[in-house]
Each structure stands twice: as structure tokens, then as C-alpha cells.
Amino acid sequence: MIKRADELKKVLAENFRGGKGQVEMLHLLDPEKNEFNGKGRLFAKNTLKPGTSIGLHKHEGDFEIYFILKGEGAYNDNGNMKTVKAGDVTYTGDGESHSIENIGDTDLEFIALILYS
């Protein structure tokens, strides 16, 4: 299967998870079409404009991985603040919490993957 760029579903989420601004999510797989075979719920390229954030939230029954493509972010890893940049990978396990904010002058872009535990 090949999914062409113009076939991908784009979602704009305001104040996502209690964060600031608008997050653009380009869904690379669609759970509504069973493209995860029941093993996950999100595989997307997320874009956060400067000052935009995804609010602190806890994962229950799943885990999430970010692969940072571009930009710089302040990442809350269970209460520990870290800076992330292009090439970094984050992992938030089942029962753990995280958030991310674009602290740079350019877009923060990352791939997000959520799979069930």
C-alpha cells in the first residue's frame, strides 16, 4: 500500500490536551480504517508553531514515542523538564505523563506513534 500525500487526513486541534494554540496533525495511518490492526491508535506528523504546546497528559493502556524532525521543544517527562531537538526520540510509557511546547523561532515538527500496551 502507498498513501499519497494528498490522501492523508489533516486535523487542526485547538488547545490540544489543554495546551496552547493550534496543533496540526497529519495522520499517516487511519485507525478508523483498521490500519493499525488493533495494535495502536496514532501515527502522525505533528507541527507546532512557536509558542504552541500539547498539554500535560497521562497515558493509560498505551505508550507514545516522539521522533523530533525539526525545531526545539521543552519536553515535560513525568515532571522533569528537558529540551528536545531534531534527531531526539522520547518515550512515554503506560502510566506515565508528558507534554511538549515549541520554544524555538521555527516550527517544531515530530512524528508521534501511540501503540497499545
**16, 86 contact by CB (below 8 A):** no
Q: Where are the domains of the chain?
A: 8-116
Statement: the pTM of the whole predicted model exceeds 0.75: yes
Q: Which three cell numbers stand for residue 54?
A: 500539547
Give the 3-state secondary structure of the chain: CCCCHHHCEEEEEECHHHCCCEEEEEECCCHHHCCCCCCEEEEEEEEECCCCEEEEEECCCEEEEEEEEECEEEEEECCEEEEEECCCEEEECCCCEEEEEECCCCCEEEEEEEEEC
pLDDT digits (tens, 9 = 90+) for 13-63: 999 999 999 999 999 999 889 999 999 999 999 999 999 999 999 999 999
Fold (CATH) for 8-116: Jelly Rolls (2.60.120)
| pLDDT band, very low/low/confident/very high, at 2 (cuts 50, 70, 90) | very high
